[in-house]
């Protein structure tokens, strides 16, 4: 656990909490560390929504499958990312999504009730944790709105350009990499992969953008 303190200090959930206090706090929260192999379920749809997780190493994806078996990538998770917090904080008892490890992945698992229930030892931290959690959930909220803004576009072309424009803005330059391969980008945009490739080719032909693998340049 101690080994992860430097990483955990960078996690937004523990923002403004000193490294010295963090170790004690983790004990107080009964934080557990678990390891998962590639494709293994960290959380499964239908599980009780009482835990939040933090990626300590590896990668994972939050996915939602519909009736027809189409897998919808809700988000990609990398080191330091928090997941499950929205459902734990909301009036939701059962998880409607799964979290799947895409590599060998180590996570820290915390029971949400431990976060919001003050205790005799370290209750001074709890309010700070709740406040941090609020910022985190609100930021995810904003990101979800942003995603809705992207996928609300009617055509594949508009979705692509809308998504890439946001990525370029976040990168601060016209050349940038995205965290998806073609299939994952297609899933994120809710379009067909081949149609996506097709449209990317057309955009490249028209000189609107250049791309190579997952690196793009808007012109």
Composition of the chain by helix, strand, coil, percent to 5 = 45, 25, 30
CA distance 159 to 150: 6
Contact between 192 and DNA per CB under 7 A: yes
Please, which residue, 77 or 200, has the CB nearer to DNA?
200
Ramachandran bin of 111, using left for φ above 0, alpha for ψ from -120 to 50, beta for the remaining angles: beta
Contact between 149 and DNA per CB under 7 A: no
Binding to its own copies in span 8-47, by CB under 8 A: none
Binding mask 121-140 for its own copies (x = CB under 8 A): ------x--xx-xxx-xxxx
Quote the least distance from Cβ 208 to its own copies, whole Å.
15
Choose the stretch contacting DNA; rule: CB under 7 A; options: 8-16, 87-95, 166-174, 195-203. Answer: 195-203
Contact between 157 and its own copies per CB under 8 A: no
Quote the least distance from Cβ 181 to DNA, whole Å.
3
- The DSSP element (H or E) to which 44 belongs, if any, is none
Contact between 1 and its own copies per CB under 8 A: no
Which residues make Cβ contacts (< 8 Å) with residue 175, sequence separation at least 6? Answer: 215, 216, 217
Give me 140's structure tokens.
């995810």
Contact between 128 and DNA per CB under 7 A: no
Task: Please say whether the beta carbons of 167 and 188 come within 8 A.
Answer: no
Give the 3-state secondary structure of residue 85. helix
Quote the least distance from Cβ 80 to DNA, whole Å.
23
Please, which residue, 26 or 73, has the CB nearer to its own copies?
73
Helices (H) and strands (E) in the chain, counts: 8, 11
Quote the least distance from Cβ 102 to its own copies, whole Å.
20
Quote the least distance from Cβ 124 to its own copies, whole Å.
12
Give the 3-state secondary structure of residue 46. coil
**Residues 46, 146, 179, 134, CA torsion sign:** negative
φ, ψ dihedrals at 168, nearest 5° = -65, -40
Q: Which residues bind its own copies (CB under 8 A)?
A: 64, 66, 72, 74, 85-92, 96-97, 116, 127, 130-131, 133-135, 137-142, 144-145, 147-149, 151-154, 190
Q: Which residues bind DNA (CB under 7 A)?
A: 154-157, 181-183, 190-195, 197-201, 211, 213-214
């Amino acid at each position: 656990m101690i080994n992860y303190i430097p990483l955990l200090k960078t996690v937004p959930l523990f923002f403004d909490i000193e490294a010295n206090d963090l170790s004690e706090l983790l004990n107080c929260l009964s934080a557990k560390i678990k390891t998962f192999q590639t494709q293994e379920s960290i959380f499964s749809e239908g599980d009780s929504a009482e835990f939040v997780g933090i990626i300590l190493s590896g990668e994972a994806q939050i996915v939602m499958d519909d009736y027809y078996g189409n897998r919808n990538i809700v988000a990609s998770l990398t080191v330091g990312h928090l997941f499950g917090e929205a459902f734990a904080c909301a009036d939701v008892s059962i998880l409607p999504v799964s979290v799947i490890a895409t590599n060998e992945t180590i996570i820290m698992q915390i029971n949400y009730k431990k976060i919001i229930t003050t205790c005799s030892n370290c209750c001074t931290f709890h309010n700070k944790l709740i406040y941090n959690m609020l910022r985190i959930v609100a930021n995810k909220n904003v990101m979800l709105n942003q995603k809705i803004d992207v996928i609300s576009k009617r055509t594949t072309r508009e979705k692509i350009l809308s998504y890439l424009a946001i990525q370029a803005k976040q990168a601060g330059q016209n050349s940038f990499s995205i965290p998806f391969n073609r299939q994952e980008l297609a899933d994120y945009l809710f379009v067909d992969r081949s149609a996506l490739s097709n449209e990317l080719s057309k955009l490249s032909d028209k000189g609107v953008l250049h791309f190579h693998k997952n690196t793009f340049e808007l012109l």
